Structure 1
Amino acid sequence: MNPVEQLLRNFQDLVATVPEFVQPFVVLLASMVPFIEGEGAGPLGTFGGIPPVIAGVAAALGNFLVVAGIVLLGSRVREAAVTRRAARRAVGDTEAPVKPESKGRQRFRRYLVRFGVPGASLLGPLAIPTHFTSAMLVASGTPKRWVLLWQGVAIVLWTTFTTTVAWLAMSALLGA
């Protein structure tokens, strides 16, 4: 048995110590962590011996639940900030000078204009977690339904892709 195969077997033995009905819940929780997300949790579950479909669905669901929470909370925060700013302007309050946009925000706006919400959602996981992408999209004024739709599509596609690659790699390594 080669070292990679041994490591994989040891990891599967570790996962097997968790009750079988709890294993998808562990994958779901792991997918809620930025930088792990569905793209990392699905393959981890698959490598751990959880059936790929169950691991992928649990990973995508957990990732989407967190993104939905971020989008809903972020849209409320943005609405409050916009309302407060409008009220200040209506009263003629010029105490708070308008800050210039940061270079990062300017770059994000250029990419959003160039690729749109679908492009930002589908290509975003290559650079930053969906948690951050969804927060930036909502903060920029993108409608929350549009963000939820495209982030959901991106999460399902990326989780399916990475989980399938993990399953194929594991099948090739173990000859199963």
Structure 2
Amino acid sequence: MTPKGLLASRFNASLRDRDLVFYCHGDHTSALHAALGAIRSLIDRRKKMGRHRLAQVCCAGNALEIFVKTSRVDSLASRLRISLGLKRRSGAYDWVLAELHNNIEASQRTSLIPRLIGYGFIKRNGLVNEAFLAYENLEDHVDGLSWVRKHPSKVDSFIQTSLNLITTLNRKRPANTPT
């Protein structure tokens, strides 16, 4: 999970808090520095809850709120793959790398997704054992599950609209992909 190529150009600043490293956009560096403590607290909370993953809004500086997803990396094989940016035998990435790559690709196709502000990790013995992704917090948006719970009679319409949006997104090509 080192910043190379496209990642280095997008996430050109790094922040550190002991063993926690966070790569972010340079324009958010000062505000996000304040978020490192909140991210560490989220990771500690996830550990206390005994969960593999946890997502939550964290407060950064200047009242900036970010949505952070954190994940424990358990196996030695996953730690190696994530640390080196490698794929599984199946050709897929482990969760954190897959979500990172998917977000970058989707952001090249549309601006209608939460913007990835940065990503980071905690290493032990040189290998990633905790990874997290930080997104802009979209306060005025409602996630699909919450919407369906409020409008249970409109599930069919929700599914059809969602599938249409996914199809439209998949038909779009990123600007740098040949046709």
- TM-score, reference length from structure 2: 0.23
Which of structures 1 and 2 has the larger relative contact order (alpha carbons within 8 angstroms, sep 6+)? 1
Structure index of larger Rg:
1
- Richer in helix (by share): 1
- Richer in strand (by share): 2
